[in-house]
Amino acid sequence: MSNTKKYWKGIEELQETPEFLNQKQNEFAEELPVDKFLGDDKLVNTNTNRRDFLKVLGFSVTAASLAACETPVRKAIPYLNKPEEITPGVANYYASSYWDGQDFASVVVKTREARPIKIDGNELCSITNGGSTARVQASVLSLYDSNRLRKPQMNGKEAEWSAVDKEVKSKLEAIAQRGGNIRIFTSTIISPSIKAAVAEFTIAYPTTQVVTYDAVSLKAIADAHLASHGKAMIPTYQFDKADFVLGIGCDFLTNWLSPVEYARQYASKRKLSKDKKEMSRHVQIESLLSLTGSNADKRVALKPSQLGLAAISIYNKLTGSSISTAATDKDNAIAEVAKELASYKGKALVVCGINDPAIQQVVNAINTYLGAYGNTINTDVIDYTRQGNDAAVANLVSEMNAGSVDALIIHGTNPVYSLANGDAFKTALSKVDLSISLSDVADETASACKIIAPNSHFLESWSDANPRTGHYTLGQPVINPLGSTREALASLLNWAGNTTNAHDYIAKYWEVMLYATSAEIAGFSTFWNKTLNAGLLVKSTEIVTNSVPTVTPAPSSTPVVSDIKPVADLSAAGSSIVSSAKSAKGIEVVIYEKTGLGWGAQANNPWLQELPDPVTKVTWDNYVLMNPDEMREKGFNVLMGQEQLSDTVDVTIGTKKLSLPAVAQPGLPKGVVAIAVGYGRTAAGKTANGIGANAFSLVGTSGGYYQFNVSGASISGSTGKYNIAATQTHHTMMGRQIVKETTLEEYKKDSKAGNEDLLLATNLKNIGKDGKAKPQELDLWQNFEYKNHFWNMAIDLNSCIGCGSCVVSCTAENNVPVVGKDEVRRSREMHWMRIDRYFTSSMNEEVAEKEGVGAIDKFLKMEVPSTDDSLEVVFQPVMCQHCNQAPCETVCPVLATTHSLEGLNQMTYNRCIGTRYCANNCPYKVRRFNWFRYNENEAFDFNMYDDMGKMVLNPDVTVRSRGVMEKCSMCVQRIQAGKLSAKKKSERPADGSIKTACQQACPTNAITFGDFNDQNSAVRKAWNDERKYQLLEEVGTQPSVYYLTKVRNKPATTKA
Amino acid sequence: MHRFKIRIISTVAILLALFLQSSALQAQDAAKLFKANCASCHKPTDQKLIGPGLKGIRSRWPEEAKLISWIKNSTAFLATGDAYANKLFEEYGKSVMPAQNLADADIVAIIDWADKGGDAPVATTADAASTETNATGAETSSDTYAIILLGVGIILLVLVSVLGSVKTSLESLVNERKGIVVEPKPVRTPVENFKLWASGNKKLVAIIGLILIIWVGKQGWDGLMGIGVYQGYAPEQPIKFSHKIHAGENQVACVYCHSGVEKSKHANIPSANVCMNCHMYIQEGPTYGKEEIGKIYAALDYNPETRTYGKNQKPIQWIRVHSLPDHAYFNHSQHVAVGKIECTECHGPIDSMEVVQQYSPLTMGWCIDCHRKTEVDYKDNKYYEELHKKFVNDPSYKKGDKFTIGSIGGLECSKCHY
């Protein structure tokens, strides 16, 4: 029946009009625009038909593939004279020193065939103790930055060193003869040899003066100590002796003085075990939710202008004095903190990161009252890493503007970018007759200088450092300079008429100054070799005086007293704090350093750009952080995601305006925004240029001190939309136990607190109680015994501070490609490990039940992080969990992912065909798919595509190709190397002899790795710890990676 | 007849070589010691290398004790002012013999062995000669066979076609005689002819077709499997370096030049300064004279007359013979230092290769095969001993189960791919 039905296309067909019949013959109703898409008349008229084309194509393809079958000729080029210490294929390690003008680290550099490929902390060094920051980890890639200068420049053109030296010397001599002013404008110098060279330079040119400048200055700490202790110094802090830590606007875990050391000390005081059930308590009073604040047991969010008031209130409460103060938004909470603090006398430490001498004086007074000096603060060992003098810098700029500076040598800093009045500095620079930059890239400042005498990278240089009293380190080159560069030390010496090279000069300096006073080792060459091998020398007393001729600082507003009489001077400090707090109006701005990028010295480093900010999880951008409630009020989008565009806003202070996207940050008080420095570069290089805006331009000055908390800002409405790339767009755990957490009080009662056994209800009669069973007992699979090794990893969530050093270390070790912002936005980042960050929500099951909130409302509210002080943050590093019953392994159609006899979940790239079933089946979402051939695709113009950047690749790890899956291998290359070295020694690998890259980088020793089958291994102990749990245990994957419950030192009643 | 003769000769040569080798077995330790410690500078014959040939060394030295202390530390011995030692020192261009850290017994064993002129050289010569004759013999025979067969085949084909045409012309002649008019056969193209024939012989066609398909398939499969397998690859090198002379005749130990083999994943191509240890003195080779050794000098910009190095040094660009794909990790030291595998197991008779060639296929199947078969020598290595105990004590262990590399995870992906 149905066949008889006839449908017409239209009335034309029914009537069978001649036009229709004519049209019917043609397949295409309109003539095809062949010539258009061929675009060439010759092609349209060609005689080659489709068949011929296919024949030729087929033939050439076959011929080409046949031709490709011939043995490719590969060259093998050995050394002509092989250096004795190099065995091709075996890594060499050299101790050296990292210094970027702000952070110091004693490091060990791994080189392969004389090519540095990895940097880790030096375990012999008491400061870093083997840990490192993300910036230290990434600095090896900065060596291979193709943007670095290859040759000196004169007036914008490449020049030879001889010409530069001749020009500089003749000009300097002329200037010195006519009595013109010569200035060395430098970041903090901690190298005793460079200081000696500067002194030598000053003798040659007596009109020289040195101006030291820290982009992120902490001068107020030194000056406050001058006022309260009679000595301008930054003491060293001992968080490992503090039972109570109070941070006031101080990000001491990532960006304050000595982050690796302080993070390690802090974490060591918070480690728990069967025998140690005490930990320190940490309270943080701050505005921006910093990484340090995220780790606090209690956090009080205040406007930046009120932080000083809080300090006064605490002091008043503690001592009973009545220094005039004003009310803050949270007086009750502050009073509670003061009350707690009072009971920790002699065991407490208060640190403050605000560059205001008045506040620092109050903090010193609190510390003095608490007896911190001598207990938790060491004034015998002084920190030399911040010597900048803000007032002197201002003085220099006015001198330059007045035309009274004839020569300016800029070393280790970039004032055109990092000064608030950078443009003014640039104009002033043009009035200087001889401007020389020692920068290794033609950055914002260097490109405005007449001469650039490029400094070598620290991995190409001889150097030394004296970061604190009695602590000396050496730095040695691990590669020949990649371009024609020269150590700044050698340049200064050369211009001073001393042609000694850096090595000889440093060696001589050490022989005279340090060896002469070290009786313990005989013979200087032995002493030198031993020190160089260890990388450092620790002396009990200070030998070298840090004498550098400096510009007399502008008169400081703080009075100078010689002995400890803090109370007498505090009223002045108090009134200064109150008056500046009262003058704060409009919206307040916090200018901060990001954990990864810092002040931006390594902004052109793609590893740091792609490292997500630990708290916001945003990559590749800076932005305006705002309170989410406030954003909602203003109608801004608070959500993140591929389809969620952020609103751009204008932040205006006076004449300065920054246009940046607004990002929601719970924990930030209303009326406050925060912007990170380090972005908005214009001449840093291809990676950093054009990203974000420069927040340094908003930095204020008060009493001669740079202020990173400023007020009087206004914020516009949405001016447009902007794509933000974040690696995590959902912020809460939705009531699930992903990160298990408890309080110290409960933990002391029951070490399994917060980690109660998970029981699943079944209808099985023979299992557990009432048919309830642990997930491990409900198993379809047979158990497998690992006879040889069984590699496991334990992560102590109580130690992890979320700093991201491990992520960069993993990137460096495992040749993880950088994918760029656009790909991150599509959730295609390639990092083998990530650090999940969760906020708590004010809504949970209990609250919902009590208040009778409906299910849908409940879940909607649970998605929203709380915005009051009940907000808590947890971090959780997640990498491949190496499940013993791995869901990924069972779904791979080609057996590209399998389980090894040592418990590793192996990923075999050459077998993988890219179905991505495994990634879909992975409950932890740790598998990464290679969408592109990042090392050969010009769209990904990062380190792997770059000829220079390729040199950082680890030759023991495959560079993955397009179309395969990859993931954490538990550093199998290190496991194999460790096993081999044990076999050669005829022994079993010792516990701790094999370290994964993440474990090695961790400053807080949060990650433990080892052989579970070794009964005494640290990882076995962690397995037996009652805080141990496995992620998503209920899925039954039985991971080889496990976590230890986070414990907060707070009363049990406030459990969220 | 001629071939037969060659065969007999080569068989005899092989037997002779075997005999000589078996008698040499007793002296093997000494020979090994010699090879490892002395061979880079001395020959066990009376030929000079860098130092004198060691044949008849006992008769040249006044006392054996003196000889031993000379070997142990020649510089110290020279200082004693011994006349013969000083004469020797002068004679060999004042080049110092490095001190040898050997036990007295070992030195005596070496002297015993070398004094007679060693035995290896004789064996090697016979060995080499036999392999050579063998090789040429085999080549000649197979080539001649092929040519003769081809010739006979062609002759037979020509014969068939000639006979065929003779037959047809005779037939037509006979028919003409008899007056029979034969209807001219329908004119068919060869294709039509073939089709007609094929339709009549379906079974035969099917069998031939099947054989053809299998053959083509096999060839195709082998061809595809051979892609990227360069077994036998023997490229011409920039310097005609002969392993046969160095490792074979002069018995230089492999590790002397390939010094990374026990420490690193790479065995290492020696750097030119290693070559110069010997070629500082040996300036002329047996095959190419000064030409090839001169290339090392050119690379190092070395002047053999003045014994000075210039600055215009250029690295030697060897052609890589063994090349694994990037995604395969291989470590020489695991195999040589831990696994105690001889170099020749994978690299073949290197000591008889004039030009080095890839002896093994280096395919994954080849690796896996060996890992499956090879038993782990666990006895003197604590790493494996413990593992072996567990292996044996396992309930699933059956007597006769072998403790192979494969049984302890040597077949797993991430042993080589990461």
| B125-145 residue pLDDT tens | 334 333 333 433 444 456 788
The phi-psi region of residue A804 (left if phi > 0; otherwise alpha if psi is between -120 and 50; otherwise beta) is left
Interface of B with A in 222-261 (CB under 8 A): 227-228, 230, 233, 235, 259-260
User: Measured between CB atoms, does B18 come within 8 Å of chain A?
Assistant: no
Per-residue CA distances from A384 to A218, A257, A267, A472, A616 (Å): 11, 9, 24, 12, 32
Q: Is the distance from CB of A464 to CB of A473 less than 8 angstroms? A: yes
Interface contact flag, B394 A787, Cβ < 8 Å: yes
Of A994, A1026, A1029, A1027, the residue nearest A1010 (C-alpha): A994
Per-residue CA distances from A287 to A314, A593, B108 (Å): 17, 14, 84
List phi, psi (to 5°) of B289: 65, -130
Number of cross-chain residue pairs from A and B with Cβ atoms under 8 Å apart: 141
Rounded Cα gap, residues A908 and A924, in angstroms: 19
Verify that A971 and A885 share a domain, yes or no.
yes
User: Measured between CB atoms, does B324 come within 8 Å of chain A?
Assistant: no
List phi, psi (to 5°) of A452: -115, 120
Show residues of chain B in contact with A979, CB under 8 Å: 383
Verify that A663 and A593 share a domain, yes or no.
yes
Verify that A1030 and A910 share a domain, yes or no.
yes
Q: Is the distance from CB of A126 to CB of A378 less than 8 angstroms? A: no
What is the mean predicted confidence (pLDDT) over A443-470?
92
Q: How many CA atoms lie within 13 A of A223 on its CB side?
A: 25
Chain A interface, best mutation among B394, B414, B415, B416, by max A CB count within 10 A? B414
Residue A505: pLDDT over 50: yes
Q: Is the distance from CB of B300 to CB of A65 less than 8 angstroms? A: no
Minimum Cα–Cα distance from B273: chain A residue: A81
Interface contact flag, A79 B315, Cβ < 8 Å: yes
Nearest residue, CB atoms, A80 vs list B315, B325, B417: B315
Domain CATH number, residue A341: 3.40.228.10
Nearest residue, CB atoms, A73 vs list B235, B382, B394: B235
Q: Which amino acid appears at position A161 of this protein?
A: W
Beta bridge partners of B289: B285
**Single residue among A726, A752, A786 that ends a domain in this structure:** A726
Nearest residue, CB atoms, A906 vs list B380, B387, B412: B412
More confident: A543 or A109 = A109
Per-residue CA distances from B209 to B192, B222, B293 (Å): 18, 20, 58
**Residue A206 belongs to some domain of the structure:** yes
Interface of B with A in 119-148 (CB under 8 A): none
Show residues of chain A in contact with B271, CB under 8 Å: 78-82
How far does Cα A941 stand from its chain's mean position? 21
**Single residue among A364, A381, A398 that ends a domain in this structure:** A381
Distance from CA of A960 to the nearest CA of B (A): 9
Distance from CA of A116 to the nearest CA of B (A): 18
Nearest residue, CB atoms, A972 vs list B264, B313, B414: B414
Show residues of chain B in contact with A959, CB under 8 Å: 326
Verify that A881 and A925 share a domain, yes or no.
yes
Rounded Cα gap, residues A946 and A936, in angstroms: 9
**Residue A5 belongs to some domain of the structure:** no
Verify that A633 and A745 share a domain, yes or no.
no
DSSP A78-104: --SS--TT--TTS-EEEEEEEE-SS-E
Rounded Cα gap, residues A396 and A399, in angstroms: 5
* pLDDT in single tens digits along all 418 residues of chain B: 454 454 555 554 554 444 444 444 445 677 777 877 787 778 777 777 777 888 888 888 878 888 888 888 887 888 887 888 888 887 777 777 877 777 888 888 888 888 877 764 444 433 433 333 343 344 445 678 888 999 999 999 999 999 999 998 898 888 888 877 777 777 778 888 888 888 888 899 999 999 999 999 999 998 888 888 888 889 999 999 999 999 988 888 899 999 999 999 999 899 999 999 888 888 888 888 888 999 999 999 998 888 889 999 999 999 999 988 888 999 999 999 999 999 999 999 998 999 999 999 999 999 999 999 999 988 888 999 888 988 888 888 888 888 899 988 899 999 999 8
Distance from CA of B63 to the nearest CA of A (A): 38
Minimum Cα–Cα distance from B358: chain A residue: A71
Which pLDDT value is given to residue A954?
93
Beta bridge partners of B360: none
Show residues of chain A in contact with B405, CB under 8 Å: none
Q: Classify residue A518 by burial, with Cβ atoms within 10 Å: 0-12, 13-18, 19+.
A: middle
Tokens of B241: 């370096």
Domain CATH number, residue A507: 3.40.50.740
Q: Which amino acid appears at position A253 of this protein?
A: L
For helices B104-115 and B64-72, what crossing angle results, to 10°?
110
Tokens of A231: 């000595």
**Residue A38 belongs to some domain of the structure:** no
Nearest residue, CB atoms, A900 vs list B264, B331, B409: B409
Cα end-to-end span (Å), chain B: 59
pLDDT digits (tens, 9 = 90+) for A378-429: 888 889 999 988 889 988 999 899 888 999 999 999 999 999 988 999 999 9
Indicate the range of A92-106, A267-281, B74-88 predicted with least confidence: B74-88
Show residues of chain B in contact with A980, CB under 8 Å: 331, 333-334, 338
Identify the residue whose tokens are 């932005």: A623
Nearest residue, CB atoms, B327 vs list A90, A958, A986: A958
Q: Which amino acid appears at position A932 of this protein?
A: F
**Residue A605 belongs to some domain of the structure:** yes
Of A617, A626, A599, A609, the residue nearest A691 (C-alpha): A609
Verify that A194 and A298 share a domain, yes or no.
no
**Residue A580 belongs to some domain of the structure:** no
Which pLDDT value is given to residue A45?
65
Residue A906: pLDDT over 50: yes
Show residues of chain A in contact with B235, CB under 8 Å: 71, 73
DSSP B70-121: HHH-HHHHHHTT-HHHHHHHHHTTTPPPPP----HHHHHHHHHHHHTT-SHH
Verify that A414 and A338 share a domain, yes or no.
no
Nearest residue, CB atoms, B320 vs list A75, A957, A959: A75
Verify that A704 and A749 share a domain, yes or no.
no
Tokens of A276: 């140690």
Interface contact flag, B418 A82, Cβ < 8 Å: no
**Single residue among A381, A410, A429 that ends a domain in this structure:** A381
Tokens of A229: 């202790």
Q: Which amino acid appears at position A559 of this protein?
A: P
Nearest residue, CB atoms, B269 vs list A76, A986, A988: A76
Chain B interface, best mutation among A69, A71, A74, by max B CB count within 10 A? A71
Rounded Cα gap, residues A832 and A880, in angstroms: 8
Distance from CA of A34 to the nearest CA of B (A): 41
The DSSP bridge pattern shows strands A536-538 and A471-475 to be antiparallel
Rounded Cα gap, residues B363 and A246, in angstroms: 63
Indicate the range of A47-51, A206-210, A262-266, A1041-1045 predicted with least confidence: A47-51
List phi, psi (to 5°) of B223: -60, -45
Verify that A685 and A763 share a domain, yes or no.
no
What is the mean predicted confidence (pLDDT) over A435-455?
92
- Positive or negative, the Cα torsion across B345, B346, B349, B350? negative
Q: Number of folded domains in chain A?
A: 4
For helices A488-495 and A502-509, what crossing angle results, to 10°?
90
**Residue A407 belongs to some domain of the structure:** yes
Which pLDDT value is given to residue B166?
92
DSSP A157-189: EE--HHHHHHHHHHHHHHHHHTT-EEEEEESPP
Q: Which amino acid appears at position A165 of this protein?
A: D
DSSP A357-401: HHHHHHHHHHHHHHT-BTTTEEEEEEE-S----HHHHHHHHHHHH
**Residue A3 belongs to some domain of the structure:** no
Number of other CB atoms surrounding residue A402 within 10 Å: 10
Verify that A395 and A359 share a domain, yes or no.
no
Number of other CB atoms surrounding residue B48 within 10 Å: 15
Distance from CA of B380 to the nearest CA of A (A): 8
Domain CATH number, residue A748: 3.30.70.20
Residue A561: pLDDT over 50: no
Beta bridge partners of A663: A625
0.85 surpassed by complex ipTM:
no
Coil, strand or helix at A326: coil
User: Measured between CB atoms, does B276 come within 8 Å of chain A?
Assistant: no
Interface contact flag, A90 B263, Cβ < 8 Å: yes
pLDDT class for A263, splitting at 50, 70, 90?
very high
Domain CATH number, residue A657: 2.40.40.20
Which pLDDT value is given to residue A567?
43
pLDDT class for A35, splitting at 50, 70, 90?
low
The phi-psi region of residue A600 (left if phi > 0; otherwise alpha if psi is between -120 and 50; otherwise beta) is left
List phi, psi (to 5°) of B413: -55, -50
Rounded Cα gap, residues A702 and A556, in angstroms: 11
DSSP A739-779: S-EEEHHHHHH-TTTT-PPP-EE-S-SSSTBTTEE-GGGS-
Q: Is the distance from CB of A995 to CB of A957 less than 8 angstroms? A: no
Interface contact flag, B259 A87, Cβ < 8 Å: yes
Chain B interface, best mutation among A80, A86, A964, by max B CB count within 10 A? A80
User: Measured between CB atoms, does A892 come within 8 Å of chain B?
Assistant: no
pLDDT digits (tens, 9 = 90+) for A672-729: 999 999 999 999 899 999 999 999 999 998 888 999 999 999 999 889 999 999 999 8
The DSSP bridge pattern shows strands A244-248 and A348-352 to be parallel
Rounded Cα gap, residues A219 and A554, in angstroms: 13
Rounded Cα gap, residues A781 and A775, in angstroms: 12
H or E element, residue A529: helix A524-534
State the residue range of the domain holding A204.
153-217+388-538
Rounded Cα gap, residues B54 and A964, in angstroms: 61
The angle at the Cα of A928, spanning A922 to A929, to the nearest 5 degrees, equals 110
**Residue A84 belongs to some domain of the structure:** no
What is the mean predicted confidence (pLDDT) over A1025-1044?
92
Q: Is the distance from CB of A930 to CB of A865 less than 8 angstroms? A: no
Verify that A208 and A316 share a domain, yes or no.
no
Verify that A404 and A259 share a domain, yes or no.
no
